[in-house]
Amino acid sequence: MTTNPLHAPSSALRAAPTRLDVAIVGAGFGGMYAVYKFRQMGLKIQGFEAGGDVGGVWYWNRYPGARVDLPSIDYSFAFSPEIEQEWTWSEQFAAQPELLRYINFVADRLDLRRHIQFNTRVCSAVWDEPRALWVVKTDRGDVYEATYCVMATGPLSVPKDPEIPGLDRYRGRLLRAARWPHEPVRFEGQRVGVIGTGSTGIQIVQEVGKEAGELFVFQRTPSFTMPMRNEALTPDYVAEVKRHYAGIRESARNSAVGGTRPQSTRAFFSVTPNQRRQLLEDAWKNGGLAMLGTFSDLLTNPEANEHVAEFVRGKIGEVVQDPVTAEKLKPRDYPIFARRPCLDTSYYETYNRPNVHLVDCLNDPILEITEKGVRTQSGEVELDVLILATGYDGLTGALLAFDVVGREGRTVNDKWKDGARSHLGLMMEGFPNLFMTTGPNGPAALANIIRISEHDVDWIAAAMTHMAQNGLSTIEPTAETEQRWMDIVFALSQRSLLLKAKTWYVGANVKDKPQGLTLFTGGFAKYREYCTAAAQDGYRAFTFTHAKEAVGA
């Protein structure tokens, strides 16, 4: 019998607790692909997922109106040509039920579930330096030992309640968007409140507004949202896509956004005012994120950005009939696209309904949640249902939520106390053999996450193969390597208007969180180049140990 050089040593396999090659935390898109990939490599793997099934974000977020803001064709796995042919998307922008059906189809088709423990939260991962392995403990009391630990824990998986006193006093029905019940929720005749007007709040408002007796939208920061113009995909279109998937994927991998969204090299002021206006009108009519790709400098040139912001404010004024409400809905104090751009189907129109009321919390702040509803400065709004759409502890929250302890007892919490740091968003100095997918210093939320996840898992797999082929037992970036990467991330971020809004991108939505843009803003294609270079030069920027060098070995 031939032995796989990537396998855990057989002596360790015999020992309790359960010995693994790879522990994979999280079963969203990233974790699912990791399970598949490492199983293909013949490794002994175990996945862990806090939720009851696969799907990550799309398992948890079942709120009305939940829908992806990238074309479904892009927002899907590319690693399996068979699955691409077997699955047929029905809409340009799939809704959550269809996304979850797709995810389940993939899990069934590839028989992934048998490798994943559901309803299981990993509560600690501790590096055992003498034995050069990760000790992983779950909330079920199980202990695993793994050569590698892959954190596919998600950039937006730790929801955040609002910092408003009295939430526990509320006696009506409290619903969190990110922990939505699995059974249908009805709103007819109900007085409903929604706190939060980011992408999620917008999606909820436009659906619940149609049904609720009264809907009160508590808005602190208005968002810019653009028409999605979603449509059913015709059989001809789907057939065409299926014929050309290979090319579509290749161009996605080589684009800044990891998808088919057109990009432009045209600077805003390089064309006449009339042409600019026409291009913006076309983008508005075409829908989706077309507008962001219409000019090359909307995230770097404040003046160009303001022109586009004013164009969208004009559209809000055209749609919303009550001028006072329209004015409150117009964002004024941050650049457009600096908060995650939202796509809607009828958000602004919703405010023309007599049952929908906008509460402007900048001028009428929420003081507390009461037993009966929400008290703002101007009085109490009684509610049967209160929906929280108040966002996430983004990018870093999931890894900070449990004990991840590296060399010399240092935790990720220690390491990231002044902000997230890593090399390529993939690995951290001080945490050997620990990998992240869509980590906080990569392009994470700024490009198609499924393309990033696949890339990251492939990069991790190549590193593991390199180690197996060279008899290496640990890999870790040096402190200098990590610093160099952080310098690149920082330098790029200084040019970006993303810094100019108080968002989860910069940690501003979580009290006491270190502030700063730690995302790589150079685009997905450039990011891939950096990662490829890091491997192609023989991983020179990493330190390795040979099995015999491990302390105590």
Q: Which residues bind ligand FAD (CB under 6 A)?
A: 25-31, 48-51, 56-57, 59, 61, 68-70, 121-122, 152-157, 200, 398, 402, 437-438, 448-449, 453
Min dist CB 123 to ligand FAD, Å, is 7
Residue 73 is which amino acid?
Answer: I
Using CB atoms within 10 Å of the CB of residue 352, give its burial: 0 to 12 exposed, 13 to 18 middle, 19+ buried.
middle
Return the number of the residue (425 or 477) whose C-beta is nearest ligand FAD: 425
CA separation for the pair 240, 86 (Å, rounded): 14
Min dist CB 521 to ligand FAD, Å, is 16
> Pairing mode, if any, of strands 45-48 and 116-117?
parallel
In the bound state with ligand FAD, the residue whose beta carbon lies nearer, of 28 and 222, is 28
Residue among 65 and 477 whose Cβ is closer to ligand FAD:
65
Euclidean distance between CA atoms 241 and 525, whole angstroms: 22
Residues 6+ away with beta carbon under 8 Å from 348: 225, 315, 316, 319, 320, 329
Task: Give min distance, CB of 552 to ligand FAD, in A.
Answer: 28
Task: Kindly state the smallest distance separating residue 53's Cβ from ligand FAD, in Å.
Answer: 9
504's tokens = 């989860």
Residue placing its CB nearer to ligand FAD in the complex, 138 or 493: 138
Identity of the residue numbered 546: H
Q: How many residues does the chain have?
A: 553
Instruction: Quote the least distance from Cβ 156 to ligand FAD, whole Å.
Output: 4
Residue 236 exposure: Cα atoms within 13 Å on the Cβ side: 0
Give the nearer residue to ligand FAD in terms of CB position, either 194 or 279.
Answer: 194
- Least distance from C-beta 438 to ligand FAD, angstroms? 5
How many CB atoms sit inside 10 A of residue 4's CB? 12
Of the two residues 180 and 539, which places its CB atom closer to ligand FAD in the complex? 180
The minimum distance between CB 397 and ligand FAD, in angstroms, equals 9
Token pair listed for 500: 């100019």
Q: From the CB of 63, what's the least distance to ligand FAD, in Å?
A: 8
Tell me the C-alpha distance between 490 and 498, whole Å: 12
Closest CB to ligand FAD among residues 53, 382: 53
Pairing of strands 133-138, 122-128: antiparallel
What kind and span of H or E run contains 214?
A: strand 214-219
Residue 198 or 373 having the CB closest to ligand FAD: 198
Residue type, 444: A
Shortest CB 392 distance to ligand FAD, Å: 6
200-204-208 Cα angle (round to 5): 175
Looking at the Cβ atoms of 102 and 218, the one nearer to ligand FAD is 102
d(C-alpha 455, C-alpha 92), whole Å: 24
Nearest to 207 by CA among 226, 188, 224, 220: 188
Closest contact distance (angstroms) between CB of 337 and ligand FAD is: 15
Residue closest to ligand FAD, measured at CB: 56
Nearest residue (CB) to ligand FAD, 29 versus 542: 29
DSSP 90-147: -BSS-BHHHHHHHHHHHHHHTT-GGGEESS--EEEEEEETTTTEEEEEETTS-EEEEE
Structure tokens at 336: 């457009």
